[in-house]
């Protein structure tokens, strides 16, 4: 079954508690939380405090995507705040093994995210150490961007690598996902679909229908 991870970057910040409760009840599998620091990406979003607050209102898996640099000095704080999955961009910090070790020692799952400029070949050596890889289908930093069809090839390459090497990481797709391109992602091997604007631009009564349509 394909998992859906609504991205709260697209939620209404003034209604965020209610909207998270609705997506929880509407069949979301993960809650995707984008953390931006104004350094790795030009935008600024949330910090560990939002993860901690969301942990109190949902039992769903908190899928935390760190778009920050450096990563290592901040990793403990996100673990302690209640993240269940932590993904980071390998080019944002060179201390990969130390970061993986800290995450793996906790109840949290280690993950990486691949910028559109990063090749699958360049991160293959990290794939034995993670539980999830995020394929970015937009340039990270802003919500509401158009899906990059060119990144479908990365999903397929990761799927084949996973199968050929008998690995068990999930392939998550993040960026511009909607009901038009979701099937392409799934057909190429995606396990998890992140969707922000596609879900949160709709009336709250339509969230369930939007989530179901992605599967």
Residues with catalytic annotation?
34, 174
Q: Which residue has the tokens 């339509």?
A: 206
Angle in degrees, 0-180, between the axes of helices 16-25 and 207-214, rounded to the nearest 10: 50
Sheet strands (E) in 129-189: 132-136, 170-174
Q: Write out the E strands in 115-206.
A: 132-136, 170-174, 192-195
Backbone angles phi, psi at 44, to 5 degrees: -125, 135
Tokens of 103: 């995450």
Cis status, amide bond into 40, omega within 30 of 0: no
């Amino acid at each position: 079954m394909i998992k859906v991870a609504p991205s709260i970057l697209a939620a209404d910040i003034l209604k965020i508690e209610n909207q998270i409760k609705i997506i929880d009840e509407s069949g979301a599998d993960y809650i995707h939380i984008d953390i931006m620091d104004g350094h790795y990406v030009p935008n600024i979003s949330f910090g560990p405090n939002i993860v901690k607050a969301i942990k109190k209102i949902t039992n769903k898996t908190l899928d935390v995507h760190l778009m920050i640099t450096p990563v290592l000095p901040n990793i403990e704080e996100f673990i302690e705040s209640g993240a269940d999955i932590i993904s980071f961009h390998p080019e944002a910090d060179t201390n990969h093994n130390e970061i993986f070790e800290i995450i793996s020692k906790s109840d949290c799952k280690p993950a990486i995210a691949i910028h559109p400029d990063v090749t699958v070949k360049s991160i293959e050596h990290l794939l034995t150490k993670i539980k999830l890889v995020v394929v970015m289908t937009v340039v990270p930093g802003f919500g509401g961007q158009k899906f990059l069809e060119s990144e479908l090839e990365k999903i397929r390459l990761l799927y084949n690598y996973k199968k050929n090497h008998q690995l068990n990481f999930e392939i998550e797709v993040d960026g511009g996902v909607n009901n038009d391109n979701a099937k392409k992602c799934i057909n190429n091997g995606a396990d998890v679909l992140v969707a922000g604007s596609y879900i949160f631009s709709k009336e709250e009564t339509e969230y369930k229908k939007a989530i179901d349509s992605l599967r």
